Amino acid sequence: MNLQEKIAQGVKTLGLSVSEHQLSQFYQIIEMLIKWNKAYNLTAIREPEQMVITHLLDSLSIANHLNPGVVLDVGTGPGFPGIPLSILFPERDFFLLDSNGKKTRYLKQLVFEMDFKRVSVLDSRVEEWQPERPFDVIVSRAFASLDKMIGLTDHLLAKNGVWQAMKGEDPVEELAKLPENIEVVSIDRLDVPNLRAERHLVTLKKKDSISEY
């Protein structure tokens, strides 16, 4: 089974409905990551098949839980989960933020080559960045502990927005350290095809906000 077939099978296992064009785009972003990784060391994962599992399918595993609205992916690294999700939801706006210039340069080139009209790449430290408008969803993957994530991004979240943090095992200890004004909306266990590790998505919001969903 070649890489394209593995991607198609993984997406099907996740229960996602995608076009041939979207499958082709998934393959293209993995191919570009493989190519650039040799020179720029964007990810410690070298094996193409592992990139598909650990980066692409892991990112797509939150698709059915992603809240509506404009998305900010903080600490995006080489574009995960933001890039795969932007391919899956081309009608939505995605902002990818990272302070690593090497990774944001790669992402800007990727966005240009792939002609992603609704993806913006931001090279900044999250605590120093002031956007024109706050975000409906702030998503992160291996970015920081929950309380640190909230502390760093609180100024970026819209009044009724949510944080959606991708975690490994159920982060019981991190949840115990949440600030008083933060409540857990949900903790969803994720099933990533061929990944032999636990994955969870933690959705949080401020207690004084009213979720519309």
Identify the pLDDT of residue 112.
98
Give the integer Cα–Cα distance in Å for 162 and 50.
30
Identify the pLDDT of residue 143.
87
Give the integer Cα–Cα distance in Å for 103 and 206.
31
- Residue 186 DSSP SS3: strand
pTM for this prediction: 0.95
Query: Is the sign of the CA dihedral 25, 28, 34, 35 positive or negative?
Result: negative
Identify the pLDDT of residue 177.
96
20-40 vs 3-13: helix crossing angle, rounded to 10: 120
- Strand-pair partners of 203: 164, 186
Domains of the chain (ranges; CATH) run 3-206 (3.40.50.150)
Mean pLDDT, 10 residues at a time, over the chain (213 residues)? 96 98 98 93 94 97 98 97 98 97 96 98 95 97 93 96 96 95 97 96 87 50
Identify the pLDDT of residue 208.
79
Identify the pLDDT of residue 1.
86
From edge to edge, which strands make up the β-sheet containing 157-167?
A: 119-123, 94-98, 71-74, 135-141, 157-167, 199-206, 182-190
